[in-house]
Structure 1
Amino acid sequence: MGSEWLEMRKRQMQVHQDAAATVLHARSTMGTTPSNASNACCFCWCCCCSCSCLTVRSDEETIQRATFERRTDGAALCDDSPKPTPEDARSWSTSFEKLMKSAAGRGCFRQFLRTEFSEENIMFWFACEELKKETNKVVVEEKVRQIYEDFISILSPKEVSLDSRVRDVINRNMLEPTSHTFDDAQLQIYTLMQRDSYPRYMNSAAYAELLKALEEPPPEA
């Protein structure tokens, strides 16, 4: 049974790789495509079908996606967060919740995750937080699709690690996307960071050096 599943998985990945190549070719020739050309007949959310016809996105969708990615990769992820106070930084060691509630804490933790090549976890968490603030149905559906492609798809370089149960929940939720489509997945990634990455950050040289730098008196003028 395991070998059959593996073979099926390989076929699925090959199908989607071929489909991605088709989309890239279509985009490169859009200038010569008739304006009345029909859209592709379907779009596979869950990467589990054999459909190879993907919709070539409009320029408007591309602009929306770029805007969302800039917002997700920028201020929302706290790269420009304020410098923490010594008290704030020390409080992070008391609980992961305190770290994640601190803008400076999230920024420092993200930098640490980047060194461990697991930055996609906090990026996904923040993307879900942004999604839950959205109320416009059309925007919600677009953001859901973007998050799926960026963090859930097996073809994404930023795919987060989720178990099969949570993936099944996501695939069912994708039939009627809402601002809470990824709640189970977000909780699982939050728990993963709390149990795995957070203890390492607390014991890391990066955190120790941060505390030392914050506690050192400022140089005299």
Structure 2
Amino acid sequence: MGSERTEMGKRAERRNEGDCTDPQASPNQRPNTCCFCWCCCCSCSCLSARKEEREEMAGRPTEETKMETTVETIESTEESSAILSLEEITSWTQGFDKVMKTEAGRNIFREFLRTEYSEENMLFWLACEEFKKEKNEKMVEERARMIYEDYISILSPREVSLDSRVREIVNRNLLNPCPLMFEDAQLQIYSLMHRDSFPRFLNSEMYKSLTEKPQVPHDTTPLTES
């Protein structure tokens, strides 16, 4: 009888202490495990959880953030458009390459993407353009990692949208980085901006305001001697 009471007491203590080896533990309880590698090739459940958390936070801008973004967008657009002629701005309707070939055009389009919360597409494209110019082998590896972590990694809040084929190419290129390793990914993002965002840009109030901006008239009055 005494031994039975002792055994029952031990069982009660184990229940109170939450024994992690208890076979009756909840099957939904997740083990406290985690794995990380900089290329994010593992499929640990914590990666998905963190990605969902980042996406949720990034996808809920506050009213204050929206207001600040709008003000900054207007100021940046006006500053960029100040050095563009009306003829150049209207030429953008002829093709996306007309926008992308000048720094001012890229800046204005980037501000439009910012209003749609897709600025990372332009940032990634620009990062790839700069990366192509890198000649130092050490810097190539370092900058390749930075671009991957900023725009390709599933953990990044600025992750760009790439299909599985292109992701596989990028992951394979990481084994031997070179300045052209993101070329396929860059082309896909360029096509995405062209196909998806550019038509909306041409129909946006931002673009309409640029085409309606007042032009400074040329003074044709002859100078007179005082």
Structure 1 segments unaligned to the other structure (5+ residues): 1-10, 20-42, 53-77
**Contact kept in structure 2, 1:124 and 1:151, CA below 8 Å:** yes
2:160 aligned partner, one-letter code: V
Contact 1:46 1:171 survives alignment (8 Å): no
3-state DSSP class of the match of 1:196?
A: helix
| 1:48 equivalent in alignment to 2:42 | yes
Q: How many residues are matched? A: 155
Give ranges in structure 2 of 5+ residues lacking alignment: 1-29, 47-75, 220-226
**How big is each residue's C-alpha offset from its partner over 1:96-133, in whole Å with a ceiling of 9 and x where there is no partner?**
01110021110100000000000000000000000001
Of 143-152 and 98-107, more deviation after overlay is shown by 98-107
| TM-score, normalised by the number of residues in structure 2 | 0.63
Relative to structure 1, the CA distance from residue 102 to residue 44 in structure 2 (aligned partners, 3 Å threshold; closer, same or farther) is closer
Question: What letter corresponds to residue 47 of structure 1 in structure 2?
Answer: C
Cα distance in structure 2, aligned partners of 1:216 and 1:116: 29
The structure number with the bigger radius of gyration is 2
C-alpha deviation, 1:47, in angstroms: 2.5
**1:15 maps onto 2:34 in alignment:** yes
- Tell me the residue number matched to 2:166: 166
Q: Partners in 2 of 1:172 and 1:44 — Cα distance?
A: 14
Task: Quote the residue 1:145 is aligned against.
Answer: 145
Preserved contact between residue 152 and residue 159 of structure 1 (Cα < 8 Å): yes
Alignment of 1:1-221 (within 5 A): 15=34, 19=36, 43-48=37-42, 81=80, 83-213=83-213, 215-217=214-216
SS at match of 1:176: coil
CA drift of 1:217 comes to: 4.2
Tell me which stretches of 4 or more aligned residues in structure 1 moved more than 6 Å: none
* Structure 1 residue 88: Cα displacement: 1.1
- TM-score in terms of structure 1 length: 0.64
DSSP 3-state at the match of 2:212: helix
2:134/2:140 contact within 8 Å kept: yes
Change over 3 Å in CA distance of 1:181–1:46 after alignment to 2: farther
| 2:58 equivalent in structure 1 | none
Query: What is the SS of the residue equivalent to 2:34?
Result: helix
Question: 1:46 offset after TM fit, Å?
Answer: 4.1
Question: How far apart are residue 44 of structure 1 and its match?
Answer: 3.9
Contact 1:151-1:160 within 8 A present in 2 as well: yes
Contact 1:47/1:154 (8 A) holds in 2? no
What CA distance in whole angstroms lies between the structure 2 residues aligned with 1:170 and 1:15? 24
Letter in 1 for 2:85: T
**Conserved 8 A contact 1:132-1:180:** yes
Q: CA separation in 2, counterparts of 1:108 and 1:47?
A: 35
Q: 3-state DSSP class of the match of 1:127?
A: helix
- Report the Cα offset of residue 83 of structure 1: 2.1
* Conserved? CA contact 2:38–2:149, under 8 Å: no
Aligned-residue CA RMSD (Å): 2.5
